Each structure stands twice: as structure tokens, then as C-alpha cells.
Structure 1
Amino acid sequence: MGKKVLIVDDAAFMRMMLKDILTKNDYEVVGEAENGAKAVEKYKELSPDLVVMDITMPEMDGIQAVKEITNMDKSAKVIMCSAMGQQAMVIEAIQSGAKDFIVKPFQADRVIEAIKKVIG
């Protein structure tokens, strides 16, 4: 198996789509979380090579979660997901430590391209 990935999105459907794209491309999905607070817990527990994280979620949004994860682990690699029209939030996420972003609806080749750019 390839690199270990944690998927974070409040929509189960989106997590499923991402998991499908990743597993078909030899990445191992080691965990899933439906909000930022759970993402931070899972990151501590699983130490994934990469986190693919939605920006807009209940409890704790992706930007806050990126800040907490990168505070814990300076070398953390996080790719943000956003819907169209969230450019300001994407910029904030990148400034908070995210390495790249992908736009929903996901295009498999763009997802893999972003991941390869960040973790190879």
C-alpha cells in the first residue's frame, strides 16, 4: 500500500468519493472524520502522511483544524477541499498551513495531481 491519508469532510458522500479515488490510485485511507475536532484527534492517533480536509464543517472548520494540526506537527501535509467561490477561505487555509487545495465537485485527476505534488 502507498501513503496513508486521512479524509475529513462532513458529507459521507464526499468522503466516499475521495476514498474511491485514493484507493484506486494506491493510497491507503487510514481514517475518516466528519469535522475538524475529530480530524485533530485522528491526526494524533494515526499520523497520516496527508490530510484531505473540507473547509466548511460543523464544530470546527477546516481552517481551525489546519492551524491545530500544523501547530502539533510542523511537517503536516494538508490539502483543503472547497466548493467554488470560497477563494478567500482557500487563501486563509493556505496561510494557515495547507499545502494545496482541490475544488468540489472532485475531478480524480486533479485530486491525484495535488496529492502527488504534496507527498509524491
Structure 2
Amino acid sequence: MGGSSTTCAVFFFIFSWVSFLGAEACLLAGSARNAYHTKFRANFHVDHLSCATLRKGVFAASAALTLLSMTGSILYYWSHSKADTGGWEKHNNEGLGMTSSNFAENQQQQKSSEF
């Protein structure tokens, strides 16, 4: 159909992927930094390993970006389906339809042809 729905679909597609990549970068950076700070603590026999050396907002930012990515994906799906069909219309006459079985008739024809 085109128009504003297609523009919105492209925007939300890009938005969902950018927020996903941001969330992934926060998780990887936070995990790598946390591993670096906790790697040498075992050498000094420190029993209590914690994330105190990592900034508190790194994993929270990742969670927030994950939520934004999910919301962007849902809005992308909604706007893409609206752009494809012109609204929430039901698709008619698409694919294979369900038909009644003629298995019993075929069996009777085979039995009658055998005699």
C-alpha cells in the first residue's frame, strides 16, 4: 500500500535493531568488565565476589534497551502488517483450503475393481 505505514515500519525496524545492539553492547561490556575485576580476586583468596566494581546502571541500561527493542519489534510488526494489507483485514482465498476427504470412495472403487 505504501505511505506512512511503510515509513513507520522502516523506522521501527531500524529502531528495534539499534536498541538491540545497544543492549547487547551493554551486556558484553558489563560482563567483560566484571570478569576483569573478579578474575584476580581468586588469586588473593577473597571469598566474596561481587559486582561492586561495576557501575550499577550498566545492566539496568541493558534491560531498558531490551524492553525498548521488544516494544520497537511489536510496533514494527503492527505497522508492517498495516502497510501490507491496508489494515487489519482477514486474508481470503490464500493457500490451500480444507476439503472433505474422499478416502472412503477411493477404497470402495479399488475393492470393486479388484473383483
Q: Do Structure 1 and Structure 2 share a fold, with TM-score over 0.5? A: no
TM-score, L = length of structure 2: 0.20
Greater gyration radius: 2
Q: Which has the larger strand fraction?
A: 1
TM-score, L = length of structure 1: 0.19
Larger RCO, structures 1/2 (Cα 8 Å, 6+ apart):
2
